Structure 1
Amino acid sequence: MIELLTQAQAPAMAKIAIAAHSHPMSLASIESCFGRFYSCFGAYQEEVLVGFVIVHQLFEESSIIDICVDPSAQGQHIGQTLMDYIEAFLLTTEAEQILLEVRQSNSAALALYRKLGFIETGCRKGYYPTDAGVEDAILMQKPIMAH
Structure 2
Amino acid sequence: MRNELTPQFSILDITVCPVMAHIASLAHSYPMSLSTIETCFGPLYRSIGVYLDGELQGFAILHQIFEDATLMDICIHPKSQGQGLGHLLLQHVIASARDGGAETLFLEVRESGVAARALYIRDGFKEAGRRKGYYKNEEGSEDAILMELKLSR
Q: 1:121 matched to which residue of 2?
A: 128
Q: 1:71 matched to which residue of 2?
A: 78
What is the alpha-carbon distance in structure 1 between the residues aligned to residue 73 and residue 96 of structure 2?
Answer: 16
Provide runs of 4+ in structure 1 moved above 2 Å: none
**1:102 Cα deviation from its structure 2 partner:** 0.4
Q: 1:18 aligns with which of 9, 25, 42?
A: 25
Once the two structures are superposed, residues 95-124 of structure 1 have per-residue CA deviations (whole angstroms, 9 ceiling, x without a partner) of 101000000111101111111000001000
Q: 1:132 matched to which residue of 2?
A: 139
SS in 1 for 2:40: coil
1:34 corresponds to 2:44: no
SS in 2 for 1:89: helix
Once the two structures are superposed, residues 49-82 of structure 1 have per-residue CA deviations (whole angstroms, 9 ceiling, x without a partner) of 0000001000100000000000000001111101
Alignment of 1:93-104 (within 5 A): 93-104=100-111
SS in 1 for 2:23: helix
Q: 1:112 matched to which residue of 2?
A: 119
Q: Percent identity?
A: 47
1:144 corresponds to 2:151: yes
Higher Cα radius of gyration: 2
**1:91 Cα deviation from its structure 2 partner:** 2.1
SS in 2 for 1:2: strand
Report the count of equivalent residues: 144
What is the alpha-carbon distance in structure 2 between the residues aligned to residue 81 and residue 52 of structure 1?
Answer: 11
- With the length of structure 1 as denominator, give the TM-score of the two structures: 0.96
What is the alpha-carbon distance in structure 2 between the residues aligned to residue 55 and residue 96 of structure 1?
Answer: 14
SS in 2 for 1:101: strand
Q: Give the gaps of 5 or more residues in structure 1.
A: none
Q: Give the gaps of 5 or more residues in structure 2.
A: 1-9
Q: 1:2 matched to which residue of 2?
A: 11
- With the length of structure 2 as denominator, give the TM-score of the two structures: 0.92
